[in-house]
Every structure is written in C-alpha cells, then in structure tokens.
C-alpha cells in the first residue's frame, strides 16, 4: 500500500486542533525552550501523554527538539506558520476579488438606473399660467395627482417656493402611499422642477415639467429621471400619463 505524502498545512492544522498542544506551543513561544519534564509539570497529565503531544507538534514542524545528555529541550518554531499566512492570504485575495467584481456589478447597475428616465406629454386646453398654477395649488392638486381612478382624493400640503417642500399622501384602496419632495426651480409659467421621493424611487429622483403655449392651450412635457428598475420606470410612466390626463379633464 502506497502512503500518501503528508501535507504540511494539514499537519499544522492537525497539531493546532488540540487545546493541549495549543497551550504547549503558547508556553514555548512566551517563555522560550523548556525541558519536556518542565512542560509536563504545567499540565495535569502524564509525561508520556505530553510527549505524544510534543511529537505531533514536531511532525508539523512547530517545535524542535535538542538532546542534552538525557534531557530533551523543546523549542517553538514559527516558520511553518507562514504556510497558514500564505493560505489565508490566498483566501483573502480571492474574497477581495469577488468583492471587487460585486462592486463593479453594483456600480454598473447603479449607472443603469441613473440613466433610466421617462417622458410624458399632454396637450391641455388651458393657458400655461393656469396649468402651471395647478401644480402648486393643493386645492387643485387633489383633483388630479392620483395615478389610478381607484384611488381616493389625496392629502396635499406644500410650501410653493424654491427650496420649499411638499407632501402628497396618495390614497390607494389598500393603504396610503406617501410622496414628498423639494421645489428646485419655479419659473412661472414656463418650468417647474422638484425632487420626487417615495418607497418606489431612488434618492435624487427629479421631475421636470415644461409648459409651452400651443393652439390656445398648453403642451405639457413631464420628464422623470432616476429609477430603481425598468419596471419601476414603466409603472411611473403609466402613473404620470394618468395624472396628466386627469389634469386635462379637470382644466378642460
């Protein structure tokens, strides 16, 4: 029967797996070379049992033995532990490589969601001033700022100035859906820009509305930027389309 060559790293782990052998090695590192009899005196076991533990440590290269007449002097050898450092170093390198790849994927996905945007347009039979003001008047907003006919009238509060905040609580049949944001730009009656925050949106998601007079009414263009996914983008596109339709019906 052919014996397999022993693996140095396995021998080290085997030697270090026993608490008595770990304690022996710790004593030798801290106090320096010692006689076997002195080492045995530190433990509640026989000299023969300690000698067996020392032989396991010797096979792993973790201790060396020097014979002086009838005495055996045992010393710690730390060089083999470099094998452990090298092995763990390889593991760390592989793990860090996986983390780096994961980071690349996440950054790629973030860049993708950052680029996602939607654009919805609607012609409304009202002046740009009237259409613009509807977006800043809570009494008017409650009539159209709902994405679905099944929603109840929302709660709306706002501070209609640049830097001011708004809050819209949409009333879905099963639960309330809070939305809020900050007015970034108010240029009556041409352009309105605000952030849009909800459980479905990304940080710094922004909505830009432009109002252009046409055929006695107003062409409204709504651009919403930054979404968590294409599905979220598509859902918001339907929702904003419904909101603009409701606005057109309310003002028309």
Same domain, 72 and 121: no
Enclosing domain of residue 149 = 116-251
Cα 3 from chain centroid? Answer: 50
Do residues 49 and 174 share a domain?
Answer: no
The pTM assigned to this predicted structure is 0.57
Report how many domains make up the chain: 2
CATH number of the domain that residue 179 is part of: 3.30.530.20
Phi and psi of 242, rounded to 5°? -65, -40
Tokens standing for residue 55: 């032989």
Q: Quick one: 75 and 123 in the same domain?
A: no
- If asked whether residues 20 and 125 sit together in one domain, one would say no
Q: How many whole angstroms separate alpha carbon 159 and alpha carbon 162?
A: 9
Question: Do residues 240 and 222 touch, judged by C-beta distance below 8 A?
Answer: yes
- For residue 205, give both structure tokens: 């998601």
CATH code assigned at 46: 1.10.10.10
pLDDT in tens, the chain (252 residues): 444 456 888 888 888 889 999 999 899 889 989 898 888 889 988 989 999 999 999 898 889 988 877 778 889 888 888 877 787 778 787 778 787 777 776 666 555 455 789 999 999 999 999 999 999 999 999 999 998 888 999 999 999 999 999 999 999 988 999 999 999 999 999 999 999 999 888 878 999 999 999 999 999 999 999 988 889 999 999 999 999 999 999 998
Does residue 239 share a domain with residue 126?
yes
Whether 38 is in a domain gets the answer yes
């Amino acid at each position: 029967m052919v014996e397999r060559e022993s693996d140095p790293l396995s021998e080290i782990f085997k030697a270090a797996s026993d608490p008595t052998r770990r304690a022996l090695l710790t004593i030798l590192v801290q106090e320096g070379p010692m006689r076997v009899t002195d080492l045995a005196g530190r433990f509640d076991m026989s000299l023969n049992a300690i000698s067996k533990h020392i032989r396991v440590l010797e096979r792993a290269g973790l201790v060396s033995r020097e014979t002086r007449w009838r005495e055996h002097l045992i010393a710690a050898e730390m060089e083999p532990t470099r094998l452990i450092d090298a092995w763990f170093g390889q593991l760390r390198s592989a793990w860090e490589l996986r983390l780096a790849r994961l980071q690349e994927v996440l950054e790629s996905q973030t860049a993708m969601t950052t680029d996602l945007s939607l654009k919805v347009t609607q012609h409304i039979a009202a002046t740009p001033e009237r259409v613009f003001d509807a977006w800043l008047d809570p009494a008017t907003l409650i009539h159209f700022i709902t994405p679905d006919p099944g929603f109840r009238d929302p709660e709306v509060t706002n501070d209609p100035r640049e830097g001011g905040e708004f809050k819209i609580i949409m009333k879905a049949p099963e639960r309330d859906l809070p939305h809020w944001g900050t007015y970034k730009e108010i240029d009556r009656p041409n352009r309105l820009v605000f952030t849009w925050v909800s459980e479905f949106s990304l940080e710094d998601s922004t909505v830009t509305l432009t109002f252009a007079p046409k055929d006695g009414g107003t062409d409204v263009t709504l651009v919403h930027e930054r979404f968590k996914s294409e599905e979220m983008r598509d859902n918001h596109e339907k929702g904003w389309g419904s909101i603009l339709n409701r606005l057109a019906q309310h003002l028309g």
